[in-house]
Amino acid sequence: QLAARLQEAIDRLRGRGRITEEDLKGTLREIRRALIEADVNLEVARAFVEEVRERALGRKVLESLTPAEVVLATVYEALKEALGGEPKHPQLKDRNVWFLVGLQGSGKTTTAAKLALYYKGKGRRPLLVAADTQRPAAREQLRVLGEKVGVPVLEVQDGESPESIRRRVEERARLEVRDLVLVDTAGRLQIDERLMEELVRLKAALRPDEVLLVLDAMTGQEALSVAQAFDERVGVTGLVLTKLDGDARGGAALSARRVTGKPIYFAGVSERPEGLEPFYPDRLAGRILGMGDVATLAEKVRQAGLEAEAPKSAKELTLEDFLKQMQNLKRLGSFSELLKLLPGVGRALPQGFQVDERAFKRLEAIVLSMTPEERKDPRILNASRRRRIAKGSGTTVQEVNRLVKAFEETKALMKSLERRKGRGLMGMFRR
């Protein structure tokens, strides 16, 4: 797996005093190999690694940073940029016509419905157009999805001409005051001349503002030739990467983005109509590097309106805060899912540290049985105090020990994160 391979390559640099060109060579070779294994195109991988090399060598190794950190930061930076840098959104005007193009099965129809729902939620009035002139079943699929998301669907007829389609779309949009026309076009199992010809003609008639190429993240390498072909023949203005919820490794994103130079606007993250997100280059970069998705976690916390209860500094952290934090995380969704996003924490919590409702009650009881001084500084918890707390809370000394240990480890982790942030470079991993 890409993340594991990269991590391994970078880990090899850990503990070294400074970066030599020789060190870098080996690590970069590993990174290139890892990228290629993740289905990144050979040329793309080579170019990417060359960029990292130049940057890493041009960078002074500060006393306070390990070479591993410098390389990691450099790779992350370059990866984020290669994926587009800052998130980008398609430009919306008063009236918009967008095409969804791509191979069959890439997720065009699903994405059309997702976009309709997404922009409906933003106050737009979408109209879906089922423009597969060959397959009635494809149009049927969009009709069903349109009903599901509450957006009308205009269906083209078998063999309908582009000119006729344009007339009908314009009329319908005008009558119903639709300001975002999403055209789901026909796909083929592979790129062929007829598909391209049809798209070119439809495009000439409808003059779309955006031509979104929908790419299946699972296809890896193939995404490159697909992107190239569609861009050359039809002209692509942006990309949508689907099925990022699977174990796709991100290689497709890197390749497609490199070869077209077009922004990746959205990511498909489930089969359901709600499963569409803006594409965040920094998150995918972090995920590819296996660094824990701090940005995603932060976003989830923000969305849940829990900012006020965000952790303070490590020094001020008390057991009560710790308990509250865990409760917040739990409220946000699957606890283990979230822990995975937070670097180090998954490891900090001991095995079997169950966070179901009942376990929580016990943890709470333990904390409640402590004196205020003990909650603030569990280091004063000697054996007799621990026995007293266990007894008072109806738990065991082992449980008290486990909680205290998890707390201390979290505190240590926070401290190290604070230290790194202070050092600057690692601060870029935060948003």
Residue number, 77 or 216, with CB nearest to ligand GDP: 216
Per partner kind, with CB cut-offs from 5 to 8 A, the member of ligand GDP, Mg ion, none near residue 251 is none
Binding string, residues 268-287; x marks residues near ligand GDP by CB under 6 A = xxxx---x------------
Q: Does 296 bind ligand GDP (CB under 6 A)?
A: no
Residue 352 assigned ligand-binding role: no
Min separation Cβ 165 and ligand GDP, Å: 18
Residue number, 108 or 375, with CB nearest to ligand GDP: 108
Residue 243 assigned ligand-binding role: yes
Per partner kind, with CB cut-offs from 5 to 8 A, the member of Mg ion, ligand GDP, none near residue 386 is none
252 token code pair:
């497709």
List binders of ligand GDP among 10-69 (CB under 6 A): none
Residue number, 74 or 109, with CB nearest to Mg ion: 109
Residue 133 assigned ligand-binding role: no
Beta carbons of 195 and 186 less than 8 angstroms apart: yes
Residue number, 104 or 225, with CB nearest to ligand GDP: 104
- Nearest residue to 108 (alpha-carbon basis) of 264, 301, 242, 249: 242
- Nearest residue to 198 (alpha-carbon basis) of 135, 107, 106, 131: 131
Residue 15 assigned ligand-binding role: no
Min separation Cβ 34 and Mg ion, Å: 33
List binders of ligand GDP among 186-225 (CB under 6 A): 187
Q: Closest residue to ligand GDP, Cβ-based? A: 268
Residue number, 5 or 139, with CB nearest to Mg ion: 139
Per partner kind, with CB cut-offs from 5 to 8 A, the member of ligand GDP, Mg ion, none near residue 268 is ligand GDP
Beta carbons of 429 and 291 less than 8 angstroms apart: yes
List binders of ligand GDP among 76-135 (CB under 6 A): 102, 104-110
Residue 251 assigned ligand-binding role: no
List binders of Mg ion among 66-125 (CB under 5 A): 108-109
Q: What are the residues binding ligand GDP (CB under 6 A)?
A: 102, 104-110, 187, 242-243, 245-246, 268-271, 275
Q: What are the residues binding Mg ion (CB under 5 A)?
A: 108-109, 138
